Structures are given as C-alpha cells and as structure tokens.
Amino acid sequence: MTPYDKLISRKRTWTPVQTEAGKLKTGAEEAVYRALALRCLELPVGDFISHSLKGEIPDAARQILEMNIKDEENHDLALNYAVNALGTDEKAEREAQILKKAWEEHEDHTIVKAMVAERSVFFCLLPFFRYAGDAGLRTISADISRDEQIHVATNSLVCRELGLNPSKSLNKLRKATVDWVFQPLQAENTDKFLAKNFWHSQSDSLFEKGIAEGFSNTRSARMPAFFEHSNVNLPQYA
C-alpha cells in the first residue's frame, strides 16, 4: 500500500444533519461568528485541489484528492446547517468574503494554499468550535476534524513529492486570516481558549512544525456524550 492508500483506508463516510441552536461560550460569541463566516473557504479549498489535479500531481494521490474534494462539499453543508441554527453576523460575512478573495487570488500553487488553509487555519477554527460552540457545532467540528487530518496528510505528502513550499506572502495571509477571526478576544485571558494570543501561537506552530501542543486537552474536552444530544444534532454515519 502507498501512503495515499493508507489514508484512504482511514476515511469514514458521514452525512450532516440540521442541528438545533444551543448556547455558545460566553465571551467567545463574536469570534465564533467570524469563524463560521470563514466556511466560505471550504469550497474554494476544494477548488484548489481540483485545479491541482490538472497539473503534475503524483498518480498515486489522484484518487484520494478527488475524495477530499467531496469532503469539502460535505463540510460546507454541515457548517451551513450550523449557521441555519445559530444565525450570522452580517459584517463578519462581508469581511470573510474579502479574505476568501485574497486566498483565491494568491499566486502560490493551489495544493500549497489548500495545505496551509487546512493545517494552519482550519486546525485552529475546529478546536475553537469544540471549545466555544454549542452541542451541534462541537459534533460538526469533531467530524470535520477527522476528515481534515487526512486532507492535511495528503496535501503535505503531495507538496513534499513536488518540492513545494508556502511563500512568505501566503504566510502573511494565513496570519491575517487567523488574526481577523480571533480579534474580538482579549490578548490574554485566564482561560487560554479565550485569549487571541493563544490561537495565534497555535497557528504559528501548525504552520512551522505541523503540530499544536496547546490543543492536546481539546481532544476530549467538552465533547458531549450521545445522551446529552437531541437526536437532531447527531450526524448519520455509514
């Protein structure tokens, strides 16, 4: 088996469902709505992958990349279900579109843009949803996270095979995106998950080293048991 075959074997099919609105973490509400506004990047990331398939992509990677594109459509659907329940911040929605345009127009290779967006931006938003979101959003985050782990591993392998690295300007865009999401939070807070400096440092670590040790205690924290959920908040698994 190739490394790509092993990643395919880890995939799991799930179907998003419409969730109910619950309570968000006090003090995190504005940042949550900004993070939700960045759902507009899900489909462009899929487009980045689609575009890369027209170029010199390793043959062994093509099947899983095509599967990952379908995942992005699923993620977009799931996050829009969350928005249907929780509503939106119209100012955040408009500003997120500006960031989306900047990602789409950036000149780095599309597979590099996908890797950086998923590893260094999405990997911050998803733990934030798990910490600050309601029950439905926390479950959505957990399901998307399982997919994104495979996506990032795939994109990293492809970038390594092709000798591709992100540019300084893409790193600046990554920083600006994360800064915008967490700008409503205080720089420091006794609750580190409500401190924007914490999220900045985790994104930096993910970009530079591919790991974020500060997230270790979010893996199980605040993940509700099935009996805490209304049935409508539980996705359907194959």
**Domain count along the chain:** 1
14: left (phi over 0), alpha (psi -120 to 50) or beta: beta
Which residue range forms the structural domain that includes residue 47?
Answer: 26-212
> Is residue 223 domain-resident?
no
Residue 31 inside a domain? The answer is: yes
Q: pLDDT 10s per residue in the chain (238 long)? A: 899 999 999 999 999 999 999 999 999 999 999 999 999 999 999 999 999 998 889 999 999 999 999 999 999 999 999 999 999 999 999 999 999 999 999 999 999 999 999 999 999 999 999 999 999 999 999 999 999 999 999 999 999 999 999 999 999 999 999 999 999 999 999 999 999 999 999 999 999 998 888 877 655 444 443 333 444 444 454 4
Tokens of 141: 């985050």
Report CA dihedral (80, 193, 121, 97) to the nearest 10 degrees. Answer: 50
Report if residue 142 sits inside a domain.
Answer: yes
Using CA atoms, how far apart are residues 106 and 101, in angstroms rounded to an integer? 8
Query: Is position 77 within any domain?
Result: yes
Q: Burial letters for 211-231: b for 16+ Cβ neighbours within 10 Å, e otherwise?
A: ebeebeebeeeeeeeeeebee
List the CATH number of the domain containing 46. Answer: 1.20.1260
Place of tokens 């249907």: 84
